[in-house]
Amino acid sequence: MNNKTIILIIALLTCVGSVYSQGTSPALADTEGKYKYNYVPVSPVSEELMKHIMCPVNYNTGKVELSIPIYEIRTRDFTLPLRLQYDSGGIKVSAGNGVAGLGWNVDFGPTVTRSIQGNPDEEGYLIYNPDFGSWDTSYMHKMTEGMAHEQPDVFFYSTFDAQGNFVFRRPEKSSESGSHIPVYLPLTSDKVETSDIRSGFQVTDGSGNIYRFKEAEYSNTGKITGWKLTDVTSLKQDRLSFSYVTQKLTYADSYDYYAVEDMGESYRNGYWQGVDGKLKFFRMNGYALHNDSLWADFTAENVGQYDNRPYNSVDAKYPKEITYANGKVVFDYSSSLLKTVHIYENGAEIQRVTLNYKQLRFMGRSLLTEVNFTELVNNQSRSYTMSYNDYVDDYSPTQTKAVDKFGYYNGRTGNTDLVERQLVEFGTPYDGDRGVCYAYIGGADRTPDILFAQVYSLQSIKYPTGAREELVYELNTYPDTDEYGNAISSYAGGLRIYSIQCRDVEGTLKNERRFLYEKDGIPTGYAPQVTFVDEMEKLYLRTYSRTSMRYRLYSSLPVADAGAAAGVSVLYPNVSVVEKDDYGKTVSREDYEYNTNFYFPSIINGMVHDEVSHYKKGKLVRRTDYDVDTEQPVHDEEHTYTEISLNNNTPVVAGREVRRANLVVAEQSGVETDDDLYYREYRYSIGRGNTRVENQLTVNTDYYAGKLVSDTVVRTYGSTDWDIRSGLPVREIYKYSDGKKKKCDYTYPYHVNDAVGRAMTAANDILRPAHIGESVEGPEGYMDDSFTSFDYTLDPGSGSALLDEVSVWKHEGLFSMSESYPVHDAYGNVCEIRRADAPVVALLWGYNYSRPVAIVEGASYQEVVSGLRVSVESLQNLDGSALENVLLPLRNAFPAPCRVTVYRYAPQRGVVYMNEPNGNVTTYSYDGFGRLTEIRDKDGAVLEYNEYKK
């Protein structure tokens, strides 16, 4: 699993056993080989959500967004694009398959997941703790043993239109125990609710849509790591429902280490080596003097086993079926890989997507090689094919030691363990005084190698048109300094994109995009701290004396990884994208600048001190286009951001972790006292809760013949909590290059203190406007120019409101218009439209109330319903000629000047038949991919024909 998203902390447990024994014993394995994982694996889909929220995928991360659309579900109120997504950051040795093989996952839509910090919230943090923050020794000891917790889990969620993370507020009195009050990081318009984490969540987005996450996903330790969407319902009762199958996913999870202790005359002298679960003790048996330095010699002794888990697993929930009005999508899996997607419309399968793989030798790991789309309506097909950097013989993730320090393959097959070869210093009593001696530990060369780091990464993708894109990578690096202050380039883990080459059907190079991570020719980049060494004291106790010895753990996995909390290995504040044609001539250049107003976590005493504000990363502050001939800018786009926070409700999200500062080895039980219990305390803060970052200023500048033309938008945000939650501006001022200014003022439902406004606010239906006023600047200040008012009426069915009337007023009354919608059906559809200057319009809805099937101009809705031969409810089950036979007689009931237009649909694609008031018929044909292919008139003559390249 990727440790960018979950902090992995390894710590030795308290030592037991005799300290004076000159021989080794089985107890030694229990002493030196134990460690704790603060690590719970999650499914690939959950992990991708966490990574994308922590740090958005853009040039800021050195990655490119590469996706293959599978299908877009379109209902009356929802649009859900299903697509394959590729992570171009490299394939770790420990990586398991995503839903569609190594590196590929499927965006199935909204989900909730969490990063468990210690124990799950429901087992500790959300239970009232009167000792919270206490320095009492016995309580601190409980924290080190995992019996008390002061760290909140971090939850991640997504809806159709937003994503974010949150923690729960800690109960501060016993009556609050088990309460679930979310603190958002960042704040969004979404509302998260639960009465019990184990039963799932309900999220209401800013449009009042309700998402229920009830399908739990478990790790191999029985902890819930994610919750899958079971259904989403709109205020108008449109619904998507999801069902799932369980897939057990297994990941490599190797861990090697060395434990080094200073030497003493009366104590065990040497170091411990743990490799593949086997523990050895290297006993010091003498010294040798080389070049004025004292070097130790050792003899190896097998001493037992330690707790090493070569595998980790999670019971992932993969969608089996998504159902909705007039259609469904069904997913088939084989060996935990997505194999086939079936798309149905009105019970008939209209499209099938098949995924093919190349299977590697170990752990079922596979590479997605082809995605084939078969359109079953017209029996057409198209496909995407992929190739990979698979030139290295397949290696076993659980056996290979050829791994760089960040977990990527480096081809060093001569490595004997996973700990980097390094020189260590031992304190030793030499000539009566404590001196030092030296020895080498570790059997690994963990330097990165671009040739091997990109093994199994995507090399090229061929599109249905026959064109092909080839991806060229380089190592993630950032500018750094060595111990002498010299400028160097340091490795940050994984890959960044160097270039994308586009070739035509014949394989001829057409253009190339290159990505330069620099500013003015100087490399840029920021990377968090990572440490593989944990240092503490080992305390030997006798009845009347005690001795403290320095004790160090050298781990193959990060003892502390600040990048895990930051959700990224490196960030690039400046990126240039240069496009060259097939002759190598530069044809375009774009410069991107991202904000640096954030802090990576720091590592203090081997623990991560997290002060990062996740939501500040990935913000574009500037984009500049250049004239490649003059190298001068032609367009510049600049953004300035501001923080806005809830009033009197911005708690600092913080926590505390406590570790023993020493290992205690006692001569006999009861010798240890409170004076010997020392702790390392880690307090952290990840920023203010219930705060968001919004765009305050946008400046667009164009350059013409040495002159610049600049337009500016300044946004002002309201001061109420609902203003902050929505993130919508209450005012925008447009400043144009000719000196003119325009001001737009906005109000929203939460500004309207009446029954309708309160109902919409209570339903979290807060993103619809109430009023929009525009004014222009004149000699005496701003003057009103236009005004638009949206009036709503209460809807008991949804608990919110329906649009009742829209009124528009233009400058000094030169134009005004009012349009009302007095009739809606039970699903919130507009059934009648009235204007003073036009005939009344009635709309009949069909296809499960999702599409208008008849529009009658000149009659009220009630009159049209009375003129129908069947009930409106019966219309929902009709299609084809049966639907026409019911609707066309309306022309006899409502002759001219009334006008009747009749429609039929392929609900997931579009209108297929339109019978106009004059009797003209137009038909529309689509392929299974939803693309319009033909338009014909009533005589069958082709009016328009669209041919799509495969």
Q: Is-contact 734 698, C-beta < 8 A?
A: no
- Nearest to residue 436, comparing CAs of 542, 563, 298, 294? 294
Question: Where does the pLDDT of residue 755 fall: very low under 50, low under 70, confident under 90, or very high at 90 and above?
Answer: very high
Q: Is-contact 930 916, C-beta < 8 A?
A: no
Question: Where does the pLDDT of residue 673 fall: very low under 50, low under 70, confident under 90, or very high at 90 and above?
Answer: low
Number of helical H runs and strand E runs in the chain: 11, 59
Q: Is-contact 684 610, C-beta < 8 A?
A: yes
- Whether 365 has a pLDDT exceeding 50, the answer reads yes
pLDDT of residue 157: 93
Instruction: Map tokens 């740090």 to a residue.
Output: 55
Is residue 708 exposed (0-12), middle (13-18) or buried (19+ Cβ within 10 Å)? exposed
pLDDT of residue 162: 86
CA dist., res. 922 & res. 937, Å (int): 5
CA dist., res. 220 & res. 41, Å (int): 8
Beta carbons within 8 Å of 808's beta carbon, 6+ residues apart: 786, 787, 788, 789, 815, 816, 817, 818
* pLDDT tens sequence across 470-513: 999 999 999 999 889 999 999 999 999 999 999 989 999 999 99
SS3 175: helix
Helix%, strand%, coil% for the chain, nearest 5: 10, 50, 40
User: How crowded is residue 508: how many other Cβ atoms within 10 Å of its Cβ?
Assistant: 9
pLDDT of residue 936: 92
Rounded to 5 degrees, φ, ψ at 788 are: -125, 130
Question: Where does the pLDDT of residue 31 fall: very low under 50, low under 70, confident under 90, or very high at 90 and above?
Answer: very low
- Whether 384 has a pLDDT exceeding 70, the answer reads yes
Beta carbons within 8 Å of 323's beta carbon, 6+ residues apart: 240, 241, 243
Is residue 753 exposed (0-12), middle (13-18) or buried (19+ Cβ within 10 Å)? exposed
- Nearest to residue 362, comparing CAs of 400, 413, 418? 400
CA dist., res. 284 & res. 443, Å (int): 18
- Is the bond leading into 523 cis (omega within 30 degrees of zero)? no
* pLDDT tens sequence across 34-50: 333 333 444 555 555 44
pLDDT of residue 32: 42
- Whether 849 has a pLDDT exceeding 60, the answer reads yes
pLDDT of residue 948: 72
* pLDDT tens sequence across 703-722: 987 788 999 999 999 999 99
pLDDT, average across residues 541-551:
76
- Nearest to residue 135, comparing CAs of 660, 679, 684? 679
pLDDT of residue 360: 93
Question: Where does the pLDDT of residue 540 fall: very low under 50, low under 70, confident under 90, or very high at 90 and above?
Answer: confident
Q: Is-contact 456 358, C-beta < 8 A?
A: no
Tell me which of 233-242, 455-464, 565-574, 801-810 is least confident: 565-574
Question: DSSP letters of 737-794?
Answer: TTS-EEEEEEE-GGG--SHHHHHHHHTTB-SS-SEEEEEEEETTEEEEEEEEEEEEEE
How many Cα atoms are found within 13 Å in the side-chain-facing hemisphere of 135? 4
CA dist., res. 113 & res. 180, Å (int): 16
SS3 466: coil
H-run or E-run covering 52: helix 44-54
pLDDT, average across residues 149-155:
88
Instruction: Map tokens 């996995």 to a residue.
Output: 557
pLDDT, average across residues 726-732:
96
Tell me which of 425-439, 651-665, 819-833 is least confident: 425-439
Domain boundary assignment for the chain: 827-950
pLDDT, average across residues 531-535:
89
Model-level pTM?
Answer: 0.90
Residues of the chain with pLDDT > 90, as a percent, come to 55
pLDDT of residue 310: 66
CA dist., res. 202 & res. 179, Å (int): 15
pLDDT of residue 598: 73
Q: Find residue 473's DSSP bridge partners.
A: 497
Q: In three state form, how does the secondary structure of 91-113 look?
A: CECCCCCECCECCEEEECCCEEE
User: Which amino acid makes up residue 570?
Assistant: V
Tell me which of 558-567, 855-864, 873-882 is least confident: 558-567
Rounded to 5 degrees, φ, ψ at 154 are: -105, 125
What's the token pair of residue 647? 């009033």
Eight-class DSSP state of 409:
B
What's the token pair of residue 463? 């599109």
User: How crowded is residue 594: how many other Cβ atoms within 10 Å of its Cβ?
Assistant: 23
C-alpha distances (whole Å) from 130 to each of 562, 784, 866 are 30, 59, 69
CA dist., res. 452 & res. 450, Å (int): 5
- Is the bond leading into 120 cis (omega within 30 degrees of zero)? no
Tell me which of 337-341, 345-349, 541-545, 688-692 is least confident: 541-545
pLDDT of residue 664: 73
pLDDT of residue 860: 96
User: Which amino acid makes up residue 452?
Assistant: F
- Whether 698 has a pLDDT exceeding 90, the answer reads yes
The radius of gyration of the chain's CA atoms, rounded to the nearest angstrom, is: 33
Beta strands in 161-267 (DSSP E): 163-168, 182-185, 191-193, 201-204, 210-219, 224-233, 239-252, 257-261
What's the token pair of residue 594? 């991202």
Beta carbons within 8 Å of 829's beta carbon, 6+ residues apart: 76, 236, 843, 845, 849, 852
* pLDDT tens sequence across 327-352: 999 999 999 999 999 999 989 999 99
Beta carbons within 8 Å of 939's beta carbon, 6+ residues apart: none
Question: DSSP letters of 507-528?
Answer: --EEEEEEEE-EETTEE--B--
Beta strands in 262-347 (DSSP E): 270-275, 278-290, 293-305, 311-324, 327-334, 337-345
Instruction: Map tokens 């807060």 to a residue.
Output: 766
Question: Where does the pLDDT of residue 697 fall: very low under 50, low under 70, confident under 90, or very high at 90 and above?
Answer: very high
The bridge status of strand 224-233 relative to strand 210-219 is antiparallel
Measured distance between the N- and C-terminal CA atoms of the chain, rounded to whole angstroms: 37
SS3 867: helix
CA dist., res. 764 & res. 767, Å (int): 8
- Nearest to residue 306, comparing CAs of 598, 674, 10? 10
Tell me which of 407-411, 564-568, 591-595 is least confident: 564-568
pLDDT of residue 50: 44
CA dist., res. 303 & res. 778, Å (int): 88
* pLDDT tens sequence across 584-632: 999 999 999 998 877 777 777 777 766 655 556 778 999 999 999 999 9
- Whether 950 has a pLDDT exceeding 80, the answer reads no
Residues of the chain with pLDDT > 70, as a percent, come to 89
pLDDT of residue 548: 78
pLDDT of residue 613: 54
- Whether 690 has a pLDDT exceeding 60, the answer reads yes
pLDDT of residue 333: 97
CA dist., res. 755 & res. 197, Å (int): 33
pLDDT of residue 857: 96
- Between 385 and 940, whose confidence is greater? 385
SS3 726: helix
Question: Where does the pLDDT of residue 566 fall: very low under 50, low under 70, confident under 90, or very high at 90 and above?
Answer: low
Q: Is-contact 537 552, C-beta < 8 A?
A: no
What's the token pair of residue 771? 């009023």
pLDDT of residue 287: 80
**Averaged pLDDT of the chain:** 86
What's the token pair of residue 675? 């004076």
